Structure 1
Amino acid sequence: MRPKGRGPLESLYFDYPVFAAEPAPELSGQSRPHPVVIVGAGPIGMTAALTLARYGVKSVMLEAKNTFNDGSRAICIARQSFQILDQVGAVAPFLEKSLGWTRGRSFYRGREIYAFEMPHGGHEKYLPMYNLEQQYIEQFLHQAVARSDLIDMRWQSAVTGIAAGDDSVTLDVGSPHGAYRLAADYVLAADGARSTVRSKLGLRLSGQNYEGRYVIADIQMDHDYPTERRAFFEPASNPGGTVLVHRQPDNIWRIDYQLKDGESEDEAMREETIRARVGAILADIGHRGDWALEWWSVYTANTLCLDDYRRGRVMFIGDSAHIVPIFGVRGLNNGFADAQNIGWKLAYVLDGAAGEALLDSYSPERRGATLDVFANATKSTRFMTPPTRGWKLMREAVLSLALGHDFARAFADPRQMLPYSYAESPLTLWPDRDRDFAGGPPCGAASANARLADGGFLLDHAGDGFTALVFAEGPLSAGMASLLASLGRLDRRFKALTIGGGGQAGAIADPDGNVAGRYDARPGTVYLLRPDLHVAGRWRDAVSDEIIASLSACLGRSAP
């Protein structure tokens, strides 16, 4: 909602574009099937389209609205998501506009009880977290989409029906220029929590709904407090409840405050009530100056997901597949990883580089990530919005103890988003090889970045396909050269990076052993990285048959 006298898209800081509906080619009799149709042009749908375009795959995007999503939605983008944005060529404006942060603090009745610093060091290209309003997230992704000749963006195009067959999917689409049918080899449903595609296929999310309610209010004010996550438990402005405060660009501040049990939602959503409650919160944090109300809504935490993220040739990504609580900033970031995961796999299948069996790994990997999110987010949600009297008593006891005892303070940790490990994926064949290592990223984990001797970063040298990190102290052996040639024949996008190599041409210098240290590597060690930069496997000393079998499995094929 917006204040009285302002229209639904009259923002204090963002000018919403209005996109016209162009006549679809199908209305003129063209009926060729498209490789991929993406339903929904939010951040997740656009990231999926850009991932496909990275591999030369065309897609059609359908969006029912005529502009970007309005109001305060996702605002926190994690480091791993910035890596995804980097891979699809969209990261530059995000870096320019967003506010990076590493620190969070928690307070109880006005006293600080816990502070956390997210891991960050010189080997990282990006900060752990960035704040940016979703309007800008969508704008910057749309700019990248508009630069691509491989993405056919169709605004004001609503899906009204879907028929999913064994070999293709047919969509009924309504637009201002008329209704038409659209055929696709595959469909990605990125149409949000109220997914039309999910509904038309008769699928439902299942899980848990929490009773705790939060008001989300965006305000604009000139305040010099640093960019960090702040949580206030039982502040004077909200006795018995919680308040969260995040700074965003353009002097916009996101304030979330918990409603009391039995408090009328209708009364809580009145503008006069919002102004009074927000004013009290601002007084709590020491702001006595002017401020302007931008937008507000109400939120209830849920942990809901589909039983399977794939229905034949239809894949569900983002909120169409899962809904997670806001605590720990997992929703948007989990969706980015969905888009990347299905994007590279679908691209490999469509151009014949991988077998269709590869797509069977999407749901186990990404639903596994969602369940991991649920496990962490549930702990956070129960602490932030206690569901029972027992939980409330526990939280009060923990917070009281935290005032004077270090052991209790960690209970206020919000458990921020971390990249999920695909250690149990059907694509991870040799997790037992981790026992040969004392450190480094394990099988299934996101790869570690490393600052190079020339000031660059290791992961910037990874290819679009599978990448092998080969650690050496001199020229590669004939056996290693033969192995790399075999991997190249399996994946035409394959790229080998030699780390060290005694100064041989093309090798990445590692004079101080920084890269080797990050990977707990020695000469002869090999890491195989997937296109999404997760570790497919690692070997202290190369085992050619296992490495070839690992790549074959990741291509949806049996070992040659």
Structure 2
Amino acid sequence: MLHTYTYPQYAYRPSPEQAEGRRTRHPVVVVGAGPVGMTQALDLAARGVPCVVLDDNNTVSVGSRAVCYAKRPLEIWDRLGLGEALVEQGVQWKVGKVFFRDELVYQFDLLPEDHHKMPAMINLQQYYLEERLVQACEASPRVDLRWKHKVLAVEPQPDHVVLTVETPDGIFKMEAQWLIACDGAHSDVRRMIGADFTGQFFQDRFLIADVVMKADFPTERWFWFDPPFHRNQSVLLHKQRDNVWRIDFQLGWDADPNEEKKPERVIPRIQAMLGPDVPFELEWVSVYQFACRRIDNFRHGRVLFAGDAAHQVSPFGARGANSGVQDCDNLSWKLAAVLAGDAPEALLDTYHWERALAADDNIRNSTRSTDFITPKSRASLRLRNAVLELARAEPLARPLVNSGRLSTPTPYLGSPLNTPDSEPFAGRMVPGMFCADAPLQVQGRPGWLLEQLGRGFVLLSFGAGAEPVRVGNVQAEVLEVGRDVHDRLGVLTERYDGRPGTVYLIRPDQYVAARWRRFDAQAVRAALSRALALA
């Protein structure tokens, strides 16, 4: 086990259906109590949807898994009441440095502009994140988290799904109106329903070594190409909590995973990097071979897929867990609207449209990173090294250096839920773009824009004149700048090109659905209908 962490053991409780010998149909059942599954349940609960979460284990993830969490997932967790605590617990950073052999090539800043509540990145071991999520699930009256519940079979029906579940007390059946599979890259649910999962496996292997040490490395992301302590390969370094450092060593195609994990193989690699006199302890060692793949469709009838069950990417760029949390953000408000009868099931088809777009974007970036980090021919190696040499002095060459394009949200440009602009706007906040945060004054106190968004549809109005607009039971409420909130530094007006009279329609997941230079109730109603897949 680990030197710096003791794994909790969560209590198994028999399901009421099993104890009482009855079959119950739940609105939503989530399979998998990892970061994505628990985030999904908490987001649905925040939108009023009760949720059962099933997991075949009774503790948090074992070993060293996800480490880096980006600004957008932190904003999502902040909407769920967890963001500030995670930032406080994690290691904040925003600077990355790239080295070629023994020289610094260049450095980059992941958040070069000020005035965002959440930092660019935090590093935090996945088990700490999961502990926080478990606590939040246990505190929520709408989340029923069930440990030691293994799903043995899934039987999709036209209007529900039947699950066969095994517990320490035996086997029973339960039902779900909707089933969300968050059970990882080797998803049993995906296998049970026969969903295709296709893409590319890479031959390269990497060694993860989590090391406990007191080091004077700054809190930054350091990546070496062909360093003197690990010739012809690459190395990545990240700081975590508790003086734990994550070191990734590229091993090459022919490495034997069982041999490379042995301490007598790992320790000399680390000593070559740190020097023979730096004391350290091995916390965790594993070897991984990665892939870039995704599911054929994120929705299979009443079964929906999220996280690694839907897509898998290489770890360079921190796109796995970060993308999975954004799956939840996209799915929850849509599923809540469908369950409430406020939107047709066609709205859930846009979950696939938008998140498959994001998955393909992540796969494309991860594949390019992998090809640059691990050249497959002498010609590509020479080209890569030439780019690194040039990047030392020429800023124009630096965008070509790819040590893992770090996770950023994918705009849903072209989404069928967007209403295109009818007038010119400046800036990035086009329909389909995720909302940029901005500092505000709210009821005489400092606040943030994203704290005012995310519970439902919002009409962000720069000045008076906008009124709430309703479609069926869904109402877009007005947030008026100058009345409800005050743009204390002018950042909001600048980022949203907020001339007087401008109105934005913001989705419940904090994405722009439409915008106008003046309020028009009929136009807003049409855009709201479109954003609900009613038009």
Regarding TM over 0.5, the answer is yes
Q: 2:204 aligns with which of 194, 208, 212?
A: 212
Pairs within 5 Å for 1:44-83:
44-83=36-75
Percent of residue pairs bearing the same amino acid type: 40
Per the alignment, residue 11 of structure 1 pairs with 2
Which AA in structure 2 matches 1:446? F
What SS is found at the alignment partner of 1:198? helix
Distance 2:450 2:395 in 1: 38
Per the alignment, residue 375 of structure 1 pairs with 364
Pairs within 5 Å for 1:80-479:
80-283=72-275, 288-413=277-402, 414-430=404-420, 432-433=421-422, 436-453=424-441, 454-462=445-453, 464-472=455-463, 476-477=464-465
1:542 is aligned to 2:507? no
Which shows bigger deviation, 506-515 or 330-339?
506-515
| Deviation, structure 1 residue 404 | 4.4
Verify the 8 A CA contact 2:440 2:488 in the aligned structure 1.
no
Verify the 8 A CA contact 1:467 1:496 in the aligned structure 2.
yes
Which AA in structure 2 matches 1:254? R
Distance 2:400 2:389 in 1: 12
| Deviation, structure 1 residue 544 | 3.4
Distance 2:242 2:50 in 1: 36
Instruction: Show structure 2 runs of 5+ residues with no match.
Output: none
Distance 1:333 1:404 in 2: 33
Which AA in structure 2 matches 1:408? A
What SS is found at the alignment partner of 1:373? helix
Distance 2:488 2:255 in 1: 63
Distance 2:491 2:338 in 1: 36
| Deviation, structure 1 residue 262 | 2.5
| Deviation, structure 1 residue 422 | 1.0
Distance 2:111 2:14 in 1: 50
| Deviation, structure 1 residue 145 | 0.5
| Deviation, structure 1 residue 408 | 2.9
Which AA in structure 1 matches 2:12? A
| Deviation, structure 1 residue 126 | 0.9
Which AA in structure 1 matches 2:416? P
Superposed CA RMSD in Å reads 1.7
What SS is found at the alignment partner of 2:446? coil
Distance 1:491 1:554 in 2: 14
Distance 1:514 1:14 in 2: 42
Verify the 8 A CA contact 1:94 1:137 in the aligned structure 2.
yes
Verify the 8 A CA contact 1:452 1:509 in the aligned structure 2.
yes
| Deviation, structure 1 residue 420 | 0.8
Per the alignment, residue 509 of structure 1 pairs with 486
1:495 is aligned to 2:487? no
Distance 1:268 1:316 in 2: 34
| Deviation, structure 1 residue 509 | 2.2
Residues 24-78 of structure 1: per-residue CA shift (max 9 Å, x gap): 1121223120000000000000000000100111111110112111111111111
Distance 2:521 2:424 in 1: 16
Name the count of aligned residue pairs: 530
What SS is found at the alignment partner of 2:413? coil
TM-score when normalising by structure 2? 0.95
Per the alignment, residue 21 of structure 1 pairs with 12
1:530 is aligned to 2:507? yes
Q: 1:513 to 1:183 in 2, by over 3 A?
A: same
Distance 1:460 1:59 in 2: 24
| Deviation, structure 1 residue 557 | 1.5
Residues 310-343 of structure 1: per-residue CA shift (max 9 Å, x gap): 0000000000000011111111110000011111
TM-score when normalising by structure 1? 0.91
Instruction: Show structure 1 runs of 5+ residues with no match.
Output: 1-9, 501-505
Distance 2:534 2:396 in 1: 50
Per the alignment, residue 35 of structure 1 pairs with 27
Distance 2:419 2:378 in 1: 46
Q: 1:556 to 1:410 in 2, by over 3 A?
A: closer
What SS is found at the alignment partner of 2:175? strand
Residues 451-472 of structure 1: per-residue CA shift (max 9 Å, x gap): 1244311221225101110111
Q: 1:294 to 1:493 in 2, by over 3 A?
A: farther
Which AA in structure 2 matches 1:531? P
Which shows bigger deviation, 73-82 or 538-547?
538-547
What SS is found at the alignment partner of 1:179? strand
What SS is found at the alignment partner of 1:456? strand
Verify the 8 A CA contact 1:114 1:412 in the aligned structure 2.
no
| Deviation, structure 1 residue 447 | 0.6
Verify the 8 A CA contact 2:439 2:447 in the aligned structure 1.
yes
Which shows bigger deviation, 488-497 or 59-68?
488-497
Verify the 8 A CA contact 1:463 1:493 in the aligned structure 2.
no
The structure with the greater share of residues assigned to strand is 2
Q: 1:91 to 1:402 in 2, by over 3 A?
A: closer
| Deviation, structure 1 residue 261 | 3.7
Verify the 8 A CA contact 2:439 2:487 in the aligned structure 1.
no
